[in-house]
Structure 1
Amino acid sequence: MKKLTLVITLFTALLAFNEISAQKFSGIDKSVADIAYYKTDRNAAPSIKVIYSRPLMKGRSVFGNLVPFEKVWRTGANEATEIRFYQDVMFGDKPVKAGTYTLYTIPGANDWTIILNNDTDVWGAYSYKEANDVARITVPVAQGNESLEAFSIAFKKEDDNKIDMVLGWDTTRVAIPFGL
């Protein structure tokens, strides 16, 4: 009886192993996900976290073409970009409560509208509803010295209470001001 139990157990384990080893995995996403944090210093708790996907130029003309001007953009690829504030912040000159929001943008040739919206866990900007906007600001467009192949987000400290979240792709740069 013990041998039969052992044989059945081994047979069941072998079947389970075959099921697991046959599992198909999708390839690497063409626009990989990334996270950008703002911390006051390396060991501090985060103040802001941004989760976004990084589309690539791949020889294409980006703003005004791949990403149309004057239309709501998910600010990256795949799922809409999400931004989490761990404390209340100033978004430009507008107060925003701590929490998680979707970061939409409306790119323009000379300036961009930056939008914080209450709808989270959404794919693209297809279900965007202006009625759920928390705040909007307009910021100017600048040109960087180098071309970035992948859409990127980074933080730049202006002073102890002010930071810029910089969006960059190709040579386009957009600085979004936050007060902590």
Structure 2
Amino acid sequence: MKKTKLITTITMVFAMLTALNVQAQDFPKLDASPMDAAAFPSSYKESNKLIKIIYSRPQLKDRDINKLAPAGKVWRTGANEADQLTLYTDMKLGDTTIKAGTYTFYTIPGEDEWTAIVNTDLNTWGSYFYDESKDVARIKIPVTTSDDSVEALGIMFTASDNGVDMHIGWGKKRITVPFTKA
């Protein structure tokens, strides 16, 4: 009887260890375009933020930026999910006031200018389901070119005279999206 109990216990322990080992191998691979976030103020010590964006950082990897972000087409401004933009206070984009809240941020790339778009859709994959009727604000932004190339798409914020500028850089292209206090 004791031998049967011992064998049963050993079998159960072996089965549990095997099950744990199998489950540990089910993790997905790391994303090739990792998720990142930028906020203003950028200091981790400052909890009173004005604006934050969560986005994925695609890399050029010797590819043409114009094929990855085609001119004239709505783009998620990164990879994977569309960017999630949170305003912690009412802000203006151009002449349009945007209420504090969470939105999706898109762009339409162009040769000389890009269009920045704030949209009410949330949790969308890419820009495949973009719905223009849900736009809250749009503004055209001039494109500048840098001598330095940025391999992975980057977004950062800086203070401006009356708000915050969102800087987007990828390859040699640079745009600055001006958010002003409402």
TM-score (norm 1): 0.88
Q: Which residue of 2 aligns with 1:174?
A: 175
Q: Which residue of 1 aligns with 2:36?
A: 34
Would you say the 8 A contact 1:50–1:82 is kept in 2? yes
Q: Mapping of 1:84-163 within 5 angstroms?
A: 84-159=86-161, 161-163=162-164
- Give the SS at the match of 1:167: strand
Q: Which residue of 1 aligns with 2:46?
A: 44
Q: Which residue of 2 aligns with 1:15?
A: 15
User: Counterpart of 1:116 in structure 2: which amino acid?
Assistant: V
Structure 1 residues 42 and 30: alpha-carbon distance in aligned structure 2, compared to 1, 3 A threshold: closer
Would you say the 8 A contact 1:165–1:175 is kept in 2? yes
Would you say the 8 A contact 1:80–1:102 is kept in 2? yes
Provide structure 2 residue ranges, at least 5 long, that are not aligned to the other structure. Answer: none
User: Counterpart of 2:165 in structure 1: which amino acid?
Assistant: D
Provide structure 1 residue ranges, at least 5 long, that are not aligned to the other structure. Answer: none
Runs of 4+ in 1 over 4 A off after TM superposition: 3-14
* Alignment: residue pair count: 178
Would you say the 8 A contact 1:40–1:47 is kept in 2? no
Q: Which residue of 2 aligns with 1:60?
A: 63
Moved more, 24-33 or 67-76: 24-33
Distance 1:60 1:40 in 2: 30
Structure with the greater alpha carbon radius of gyration: 2
Give the drift of 1:39.
Answer: 1.5
Would you say the 8 A contact 1:92–1:176 is kept in 2? no
Distance 2:145 2:33 in 1: 23
Q: What percent identity do the matched residue pairs reach?
A: 44
Give the drift of 1:44.
Answer: 2.3
Give the drift of 1:11.
Answer: 5.7
- Give the SS at the match of 2:133: helix
Q: Which whole-Å deviations, capped at 9, do the CAs of 1:110-158 have from their partners, x for residues lacking one?
A: 1111111111101010100101111111111011231000011011222
Structure 1 residues 34 and 16: alpha-carbon distance in aligned structure 2, compared to 1, 3 A threshold: farther
- Give the SS at the match of 2:20: helix
